[in-house]
Chains A and B, each alone.
Chain A
């Protein structure tokens, strides 16, 4: 079939849906393992079935053909005809991968990987080829004889049709069928009314008539069969050709199939579909979130508008402050109501962008399954808090760092079964992936019960590489977090799983770029926990307004560790220009926003201002400002799309008085401080 533009549009939905279906199949197959209960196989089967039906409908024959093999295997498993073996599951998982690629290639109109398809098809056939003992044997059927007769075109047909009484109840209208017959040729029907009962015994919903029909013309037999296709069960239907009495063919159509299965058309065995158990089991609602698909741009547009509304509202409140309060109580009341409504509207619009973290977590059962096979480790993956929601963009960007962390935990964290047994631990290790909300943030934890970090080894390596001065003592926590330093790896053997120690620093940078924060803690022999703190969204930010001269800047509250009044004797100057500030046992480089952005401050000396201690990438600096103003949620406007990208600035926002305030990019500020100032100091501060 050809696909017109509208169908192509719908096909896009099919591609998306198929990917979701494949996810369902994959997670279903992974959880199948030892216990193969009927309903979970049924769910997998249904997903395969939908992909097959859809791909056939939209004209993707190769996808449909391949899925057919998968579906057949699943159907046999579902019916208990085929045992659920590890090999079969592995082949089905690979088939899911293959299908995912086929669908991507089809969507991109790229050629398919025929070799791979052929290989997997072969694997599937091999499994299916081991025919189970009770495989249905193809039965020579009435269908075959109908086929044979199909081309014999007679001068006409005689049809004896005696329907069952409840014909009408199934809405199979004889008049409708007669209208169709009339279109085929000259048509005469004689009704037999002998079965009509007396009026008091007559059920108006039943059919008591039967007919003798003659239809003349060159009518192929299948055309007639099509007309009566739906009425077969229980009806008496005899069709014979006129003028060729030798070829009279009598068909007692539709005896109940249980009674005479051989007489009805039997589908080829590979296509036999069995009815699900009579009491259709209720599927658990996982994955069915009753969701709608909305384009992200549309949402972003609404979010933008809500942001504007928020700005207008705070502008109005500011305006009310300047007018005689006695007369304006009611205006104020109205404004505060507007403020509340705006905030609620904003929250509910933001909600639309929120997705449960299960979208990221769902990849892990497969990753862990494949990796543990490869590494010959035994591991149980526990997921908690999958329903915790966060912004779609944050979700997408956190996915890869999480994969890296989980791989690391499996590869470096967990020991082999032998090592575990020797250490008196259960053979099977545990990796826990959890998420929960805390304040306005989401916390994601990756926890393993493996060997934990080897602190002595880390410290030795860090010293060898000059990352930590030889004489400096570090707390356990500080040592653990050294693994996030660039170019750090403690793996004795470099494996193709977790690479060469490029990773943890990249993980941390990615998380910092999202405005988040990561740290690790571990107990030797007991395991490690990595804790990631992320903002729920990138569209708004909890900001601290700070003033430098006449300018107002915004610093993310997440990045602020503390704010302190500076005492003169705690400020030192290094190399004649870089000022450092001693905070407890740490030396922090002082970043002067006035110099950074070229604005005139109230005072240039550190002790007149306030020092805002911020942290990113595990480094801290003190940002010198003149004053702290309010804390408020601000709507982040991209500077890049409205102006151009500026180093040290993450974006802008519009304050209530209509002025633009710039949002400080803390990680960038710290990086440039490390470059321009003394690198040793910056590293020291870690």
Chain B
């Protein structure tokens, strides 16, 4: 069984692209379409990595990371945020919320895999 990754994005096409790339590399992928859904799932399950978009309805990625860090099982789980702009401000918001790092969109499958490989 490969490492398990929780991928959170409100865009179905981005989710599919992430899913397709990561599954192709042997990871197990769980998907959620916003922060609320991801957090609900995470309360009862564990993962090796969380990958989340920032702009999402209901709960954004930054809030999700902050909430997840509060869960006992997620204290040391690497969390990466996906941001469209290489906006320093957003990255800092992410860091303060407890994100491990970020991936700047647009990214292609090899970039995604390389970044994921840095943390797990």
Query: Which residues of A come within 8 Å of B, CB atoms?
Result: 1, 6-7, 10-11, 13-14, 17, 43, 45-46, 49-50, 52-54, 56-58, 64, 168-173, 176, 180, 205, 229-230, 232-233, 256-257, 264-267, 271-276, 280, 282-283, 288, 293
Indicate if the CB atoms of A267 and B13 lie closer than 8 Å. no
Pick from A54, A58, A232 the residue with the most CB of B within 10 Å: A54
Indicate if the CB atoms of A1 and B108 lie closer than 8 Å. yes
Indicate if the CB atoms of B78 and A273 lie closer than 8 Å. no
Indicate if the CB atoms of A46 and B57 lie closer than 8 Å. yes
Given contacts A13-B16, A265-B88, contact A283 B57 (CB under 8 A): yes
Indicate if the CB atoms of B102 and A271 lie closer than 8 Å. no
A265 to B55 Cα, complex, angstroms: 22
Residues of B within 8 A of A7 (CB): 17, 20, 109
| B41 close to chain A: CB less than 8 A | no
Chain B residue at minimum C-beta to C-beta distance from A10: B16
Indicate if the CB atoms of A56 and B85 lie closer than 8 Å. no
Residues of B within 8 A of A43 (CB): 57
Starting from the known contacts A43-B57, A57-B106, A275-B90, 5 additional A-B residue pairs (CB-CB under 8 Å) come to A17-B13, A53-B105, A267-B85, A267-B86, A280-B60
Chain B residue at minimum C-beta to C-beta distance from A12: B13
Residues of B within 8 A of A56 (CB): 84, 105-106
> Which listed residue (A49, A230, A233, A273) contacts B102, Cβ 8 A?
A230
Indicate if the CB atoms of A267 and B88 lie closer than 8 Å. yes
Given contacts A10-B20, A267-B89, A273-B89, contact A230 B100 (CB under 8 A): yes
Chain A residue at minimum C-beta to C-beta distance from B112: A57
- Least distance between A142 CB and chain B CB atoms (Å): 10
A3 to B24 Cα, complex, angstroms: 16
Residues of B56-98 whose CB lies within 8 A of A: 56-60, 62-63, 69, 75-79, 83-90, 92-93, 95-96, 98
A172 to B95 Cα, complex, angstroms: 11
Chain A residue at minimum C-beta to C-beta distance from B65: A170
A230 to B118 Cα, complex, angstroms: 11
Indicate if the CB atoms of A54 and B14 lie closer than 8 Å. yes
Indicate if the CB atoms of B13 and A14 lie closer than 8 Å. yes
Indicate if the CB atoms of B87 and A273 lie closer than 8 Å. yes
A657 to B16 Cα, complex, angstroms: 48
Chain B residue at minimum C-beta to C-beta distance from A13: B13
Indicate if the CB atoms of A13 and B12 lie closer than 8 Å. yes
Indicate if the CB atoms of A229 and B101 lie closer than 8 Å. yes
| B116 close to chain A: CB less than 8 A | no
Indicate if the CB atoms of B20 and A6 lie closer than 8 Å. yes
> Which listed residue (B57, B93, B95, B107) contacts A275, Cβ 8 A?
B93
| B25 close to chain A: CB less than 8 A | no
> Which listed residue (B76, B92, B93, B106) contacts A171, Cβ 8 A?
B76
Given contacts A46-B57, A170-B98, contact A57 B87 (CB under 8 A): no
> Which listed residue (A64, A230, A264, A267) contacts B101, Cβ 8 A?
A230
Indicate if the CB atoms of B95 and A57 lie closer than 8 Å. no
**Complex A-B, nearest 10 residue pairs according to Cβ-Cβ distance, in ascending order:** A230-B101, A14-B13, A56-B106, A171-B78, A283-B57, A57-B106, A13-B13, A273-B87, A10-B16, A171-B100
Residues of B within 8 A of A267 (CB): 85-89
- Least distance between B106 CB and chain A CB atoms (Å): 4
Given contacts A46-B57, A169-B76, contact A271 B100 (CB under 8 A): no
